Chain A
């Protein structure tokens, strides 16, 4: 048992943490090459992310969508589904929710907010569900279909938001939807900051998703399908239904991210509202090792990077694109734990797939 816990600690904490450190080192290298001082740059990044006025609150604001999106992508991973369409589902969720939120009036917030959130989730569920249905019925790979659905949703959002008589608000300089009903706005948690009640929703979503995966029959099906699709089918689990539901739930979380962002931050919707959050979320889920609890620190890291980047650029002239280098290297290290283990001289516990093939080899041939 203690050995198992040690393994778990290494794979769930040590390796991701070391990957982050290694990612920052690669980033430092890149800063050096461009002739700047990495220590200065990282100090500025840290200040911009945490210690400047309101910086910590802003970091949390940026982290909120990462939590929902990261949970969504992680949920898909658990069933072996690679949902690259979180960005698009974010848009569809935001579109569906914002329509409700600016259309309804004179209802109390306690009704309007949940209504808008539910409709947003439904939008995401539906959008990702298309990819799920396509996979379940025709075998079309979700990576392909969600990418395609992304384009459709970007252009759909752009069309709706830019077209008079549809969602375009009258008399605005940049195209956007009308403002949402004041009662539908998520309350501000810290006066003078933009930190909104979406943070609480995010904090509640983590244990809910954990419970869903680890303690419900749906989660059991998701994990069984993700681990061994053939054994799941043999045990009578409907793989098709599980794929559709998992994709849908994954999309619902992405849609929730979208509508929370609209109700909490923008109060209206533009056609750039997702701002790459949905793509970063894939990295968040990877860094979290598809564990809902892991999504929290991973989302915080990505929120901090996103938030601190502009101050770093302002202060030290190091391009904020550096953040992408850090993110990318972190993911490379997370995806290749063998490197990290080697760097840390951790005892061999090879990648899961490798273990399986070796085991099968031994079993079947002896």
Chain B
């Protein structure tokens, strides 16, 4: 594949998960070696064998997951790797701080050099990452899915920063799978699919639908078809819930919430505002400090995760690789991961592999999981298909409540569509769904009611006409 980026341009790299965007950028940043082909900077052929080479050539990368050291200050993080320039034995904090302050005022990126990174909001942390790259002399800045963790308002701020960088003549490569963003920020858009460049366009020359089609390779529905909800009785209630995070700080601070049969309640919020802890408390993976979880009018606060799952609560965890699947096990085992010991999958303690395989074959077909067969290792599947394995497992046990956390994160557009349809059709059949997503679009297109979470509290529950992007965005930022 070929790609060219000009100075002073924002070049968006658009593609689904697994399209090869990150691999390409890892090649440019020296993390992966190319099998063939060459990289040129300023018309000169260059060898990039390591990130050090990349930095020397003025290539900087801001990873999706920040590479910052939380207990250190902003200045310490920024000079990391070049701390020798400020040290003769001890680091000269004053001089380092001054250098950082100069840099941040040069680019209009306000940060306090003395603040500890762990106390900063995600948006500011990202600013620190950008400053870090600039400090190392980056002229070409690669931003990998930079908006994934930002509020809509923070996204605006980021776009302004990107603009000011290109005004300085720097080149920015903006990796994303979000269509709207590329239209807003990019000078040119290169769409990738299956490791190949489909096309490069200017935003003015392309429509959203067209870009989506180029990404997926076929026309896609951007909105989910769904009838109005006809909710029944409340199946899941949390009352006065208080939960700590791993550092024993209050993460969920007195949450009351009810989900009725046949409705989807979306929990919107910037990541890290207690959503993960709320969900884990509901399924019994995290201890309650106060309050209770009520399922079908029974208090299940003291029940184990297994008991809750078997009682009819299904759970799609946010972090698929860490929590949702066991990569080293075959698709079939993953499809029965939480019911492996139930008949017909086991008789006494002996697993009935034939029954497991038959069941798996059925689910593979019903959920259109692209796998060679039930015996294939789930690690060999694409991200979208791995997620379908999780969704298939959780929706096929006749659940009454579904807790879906980021159910389509890192999933290709085609699979998103499919997963959304599955969730909606089960809702129509009476399933109570609690949908937690940091993708506002997902919440907007699926939820019948939207609860906005900010700093461990549900700050507002919106219904019907009240569900508006702007309003939710402000609530997510804790402004309204």
Contact call A362/B327, Cβ cutoff below 8 A: no
Contact call A366/B326, Cβ cutoff below 8 A: no
CB neighbors of B among A208-249 (8 A): 215-218, 220, 223-224, 227-228, 230-238
**Cβ contacts under 8 Å, B17 to chain A:** 363, 366
Q: Give the interface segment out of A58-66, A316-324, A336-344, A353-361.
A: A353-361
Contact call A365/B333, Cβ cutoff below 8 A: no
Contact call A224/B337, Cβ cutoff below 8 A: yes
Residue of A nearest to B329 (CB): A227
CB neighbors of B among A241-259 (8 A): none
Cβ of A138 under 8 Å from chain B: no
Contact call B338/A228, Cβ cutoff below 8 A: no
Contact call B351/A366, Cβ cutoff below 8 A: no
Q: Encode contact with A along B322-353: 1 for CB under 8 Å, 0 otherwise.
A: 11111111000100011011000010011101
Contact call A220/B327, Cβ cutoff below 8 A: no
Cβ of B95 under 8 Å from chain A: no
Cβ of A265 to closest chain B Cβ, rounded Å: 33
Query: Which residue among A220, A224, A227 has the maximum number of chain B CB atoms within 10 Å of its CB?
Result: A220
Contact call B285/A234, Cβ cutoff below 8 A: yes
Contact call A228/B21, Cβ cutoff below 8 A: no
Name B350's contact: one of A215, A237, A364, A365 (CB within 8 Å).
A215
A235 to B308, CA, bound (A): 10
Cβ of A79 to closest chain B Cβ, rounded Å: 13
Residue of A nearest to B323 (CB): A234
Q: Encode contact with A along B408-428: 1 for CB under 8 Å, 0 otherwise.
A: 001000000000000000000
Contact call A231/B324, Cβ cutoff below 8 A: yes
Contact call A238/B304, Cβ cutoff below 8 A: yes
A363 to B320, CA, bound (A): 10
Q: Give the interface segment out of B79-87, B127-135, B309-317, B470-478.
A: B309-317
Contact call B326/A234, Cβ cutoff below 8 A: no
Contact call B327/A361, Cβ cutoff below 8 A: no
Contact call B63/A365, Cβ cutoff below 8 A: yes
**Cβ contacts under 8 Å, A228 to chain B:** 322, 325-328
Cβ of B137 under 8 Å from chain A: no
Name A366's contact: one of B15, B328, B372 (CB within 8 Å).
B15
Contact call A365/B327, Cβ cutoff below 8 A: no
| Interface residues of chain A: helix, strand, loop or mixed (majority) | helix
**Cβ contacts under 8 Å, B177 to chain A:** 366
**Cβ contacts under 8 Å, A217 to chain B:** 340-341, 346, 349-351
Residue of A nearest to B379 (CB): A359
Q: Encode contact with B along A170-204: 1 for CB under 8 Å, 0 otherwise.
A: 00000000000000000000000000000000000
A237 to B326, CA, bound (A): 13
Q: A234-B305, A236-B338 are in contact. Are A362 and B333 (CB under 8 A)?
A: no
Cβ of B30 under 8 Å from chain A: no
Query: Which residue among B22, B326, B340 has the maximum number of chain A CB atoms within 10 Å of its CB?
Result: B326
Name A236's contact: one of B26, B145, B306, B329 (CB within 8 Å).
B306
**Cβ contacts under 8 Å, A231 to chain B:** 322-326, 337
Contact call B337/A216, Cβ cutoff below 8 A: no
Contact call A236/B23, Cβ cutoff below 8 A: no
Query: Which residue among A227, A361, A365 has the maximum number of chain B CB atoms within 10 Å of its CB?
Result: A365
**Cβ contacts under 8 Å, A355 to chain B:** 379
Q: A220-B333, A223-B329 are in contact. Are A215 and B351 (CB under 8 A)?
A: yes
**Cβ contacts under 8 Å, B277 to chain A:** none
Q: A231-B325, A360-B321, A365-B63 are in contact. Are A220 and B22 (CB under 8 A)?
A: no
Contact call A230/B323, Cβ cutoff below 8 A: yes
Q: A227-B329, A236-B305, A360-B321 are in contact. Are A365 and B351 (CB under 8 A)?
A: no
Name B410's contact: one of A227, A230, A361, A363 (CB within 8 Å).
A363
Contact call B65/A238, Cβ cutoff below 8 A: no
Contact call A362/B23, Cβ cutoff below 8 A: yes
Cβ of B76 under 8 Å from chain A: no
CB neighbors of A among B1-41 (8 A): 15, 17-23, 26
Cβ of B144 under 8 Å from chain A: yes
**Cβ contacts under 8 Å, A233 to chain B:** 285, 305
Cβ of A84 to closest chain B Cβ, rounded Å: 24
Query: Which residue among B15, B351, B379 has the maximum number of chain A CB atoms within 10 Å of its CB?
Result: B351
6 smallest A-B Cβ distances: which pairs?
A: A236-B306, A366-B22, A235-B338, A365-B22, A235-B337, A217-B341
Given contacts A215-B353, A224-B337, A361-B22, 20 further A-B contacts (CB under 8 A): A216-B351, A217-B351, A218-B349, A220-B341, A228-B322, A230-B322, A231-B325, A231-B326, A235-B337, A238-B304, A352-B328, A355-B379, A356-B379, A359-B321, A360-B321, A363-B18, A365-B64, A365-B65, A366-B22, A366-B175
Which residues on B are within 8 Å of A, measured CB to CB?
15, 17-23, 26, 63-65, 144-145, 175, 177, 283, 285, 304-310, 315, 317, 321-329, 333, 337-338, 340-341, 346, 349-351, 353, 372, 379, 383, 410
Mind listing 28 A-B residue pairs with CB under 8 Å? Answer: A215-B353, A216-B351, A217-B350, A217-B351, A218-B349, A223-B326, A224-B329, A228-B325, A228-B326, A230-B323, A231-B323, A231-B337, A234-B324, A236-B307, A238-B304, A352-B328, A360-B321, A361-B26, A362-B22, A362-B23, A363-B17, A364-B321, A364-B410, A365-B22, A365-B144, A365-B175, A366-B15, A366-B410
